[in-house]
Amino acid sequence: MIELRDLDTGDEEQLFQWRGEPEVARWMSDADVSGREAHRAWFHQLRTDPDLKGWMILRAGGPAGLLTLTGLTGHHRRAAWNWFVGDREARGRGVGRAAQVLGLDQAFGVLGLHKVWAEVMADNDAAMKIQTGAGFRREGYLRGHVLKDGQPRDVVLLGILAEEWAALAPEARRNLTDSGLIAA
């Protein structure tokens, strides 16, 4: 069963490990994890700044990944989506697909957003497939937009609107409850 829960203080160490893993870090479009102190400050901000919200993705009750929304206090009622499944044993088993449905329900249902958008590395096939599969649409292509290890990388902009999710959510939830991935 896949669930989301609020972050607690004990998650800081786990998130530091995951953020430093090459399979996670290589796809993050923000700055590289630059050390323990920077991570501590990032985690503190994630838990206290009303502009941000983070959830631990749980698989069978244990931590499997992180989902964050950024920009919550802005005028436009939109937020940027960022996420990873940090537990490598959990990848490719539907955790991301389920967490995405739960996260979009939080974003549009609980938080009342109008739009969720994401920057995805253009060669991140897994993220592109899963996010467009849930209804994110491609809205732009930014050449050489981020530097990873000093190398320019292209980024795709994805977005989904509240009314689009409202139309897609019932079937997405049904598919996940039928396969036992989320609670009915």
Ligand X SMILES: CC(C)(COP(=O)(O)OP(=O)(O)OC[C@H]1O[C@@H](n2cnc3c(N)ncnc32)[C@H](O)[C@@H]1OP(=O)(O)O)[C@@H](O)C(=O)NCCC(=O)NCCS
Quick check: 24 binds ligand X (CB under 6 A)?
yes
CA distances from 52 to 27, 42, 79 (A): 20, 11, 9
Q: Which position among 129, 137, 138, 174 is part of the footprint of ligand X (CB under 6 A)?
A: 129
Tell the residue number behind the tokens 């899963």, with chain if given.
Answer: 130
Least Cβ distance, residue 64 to ligand X (angstroms): 8
- Which residue stretch of 32-40, 47-55, 93-101, 143-151 sits at the interface with ligand X (rule: CB under 6 A)? 93-101
- Which residue stretch of 37-45, 94-102, 104-112, 166-174 sits at the interface with ligand X (rule: CB under 6 A)? 94-102
Q: Which position among 53, 97, 115, 153 is part of the footprint of ligand X (CB under 6 A)?
A: 97
- Amino acid 110 reads V
Q: Which position among 35, 62, 74, 92 is part of the footprint of ligand X (CB under 6 A)?
A: 92
Least Cβ distance, residue 120 to ligand X (angstroms): 4
For 42, phi then psi, to 5°, come to: -60, -45
Distance CA 143, CA 109 (A): 33
Q: Which position among 27, 68, 122, 145 is part of the footprint of ligand X (CB under 6 A)?
A: 27
Distance CA 73, CA 88 (A): 33
CA torsion angle 132 161 5 16 (round to 10):
60
Residues 109-128 that bind ligand X (CB under 6 A): 118, 120, 124-127
Q: Which position among 84, 108, 117, 165 is part of the footprint of ligand X (CB under 6 A)?
A: 84
Nearest CA-CA partner of 142 in 158, 160, 125: 158
Quick check: 174 binds ligand X (CB under 6 A)?
no
Tell the residue number behind the tokens 């491609």, with chain if given.
Answer: 138
Determine the 3-state secondary structure of 57 from DSSP.
strand
Task: Classify strands 62-70 and 78-85 as parallel, antiparallel or unpaired.
Answer: antiparallel
Residues 40-79 that bind ligand X (CB under 6 A): none
Interface contacts to ligand X, rule CB under 6 A: 23-24, 27, 83-85, 91-97, 118, 120, 124-127, 129-130
